[in-house]
């Protein structure tokens, strides 16, 4: 038996030491993947970025427990992160790609009028909007609010009247 097989093991019959070595190795590999994918993947927490984070965790966990071959799983994680980085670059470079992947902001309230069609699309109520103006604009009245948007990140932005 060679050293890599002894350290990493194979299949379902991994010893605690082998799983520990796999976890140790994958920890540092995950840090490298995070650096490759860029800060936004784990910093902005948009829906788009959360999908990558969840998938990466699911893929790498298979390598720790031996559910999939170690090096194949590592390769799959690397491909996922590189694809995410490429898509992030494409959305930065080409507006239409960004709109396709991330969507667009939606106007929910403007100059005293609610846009109920967009509110339904976002599954957000008037009470939710009221909470957003209390949290964002520090007011409980729409009198001081010009517009409210659901941004591409799914966060609400409130624009006050000057």
Q: What pLDDT is attached to residue 125?
A: 92
Q: Look-up: residue for tokens 């995950």? A: 30
Q: What percent of the chain has pLDDT over 70?
A: 91
pLDDT of residue 113: 93
Please say if the pLDDT value at position 1 is more than 60: no
pTM for the whole thing?
Answer: 0.72
Residue 88: closest CA among 27, 121, 42, 122: 42
Q: How far apart are CA 17 and CA 151, in angstroms?
A: 47
What is the pLDDT, as a whole number, of residue 2?
63
Mean pLDDT calculated for residue range 50-56: 86
Please tell me the distance from the alpha carbon of residue 2 to that of residue 9, in angstroms, as a whole number: 10
Q: Using an 8 Å Cβ cutoff, are 154 and 46 in contact?
A: yes
**According to CATH, what is the number of the domain 104-160?**
3.30.240.20
For helices 70-93 and 47-65, the axis angle rounded to 10 degrees is: 170
Sequence ranges of the domains in the chain: 3-100, 104-160
């Amino acid at each position: 038996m060679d050293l890599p097989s002894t350290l990493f093991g194979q299949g379902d019959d991994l010893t605690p030491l082998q799983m520990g070595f796999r976890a140790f190795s994958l920890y540092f590999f995950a840090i490298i993947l995070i650096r490759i994918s860029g800060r936004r993947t784990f910093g902005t927490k948009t829906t788009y970025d959360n999908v990558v984070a969840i998938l990466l965790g699911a893929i790498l966990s298979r390598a720790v427990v031996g559910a999939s071959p170690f090096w194949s799983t590592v390769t799959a994680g690397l491909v996922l992160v590189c694809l995410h980085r490429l898509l992030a670059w494409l959305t930065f470079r080409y507006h239409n790609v960004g709109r396709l992947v991330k969507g667009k902001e939606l106007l929910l309230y403007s100059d005293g009028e609610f846009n109920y069609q967009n509110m339904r699309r976002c599954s957000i109520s008037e009470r939710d909007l009221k909470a957003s103006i209390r949290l964002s604009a520090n007011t409980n009245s729409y009198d001081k609010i010009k517009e409210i948007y659901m941004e591409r990140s799914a966060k609400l932005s409130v624009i006050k009247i000057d």
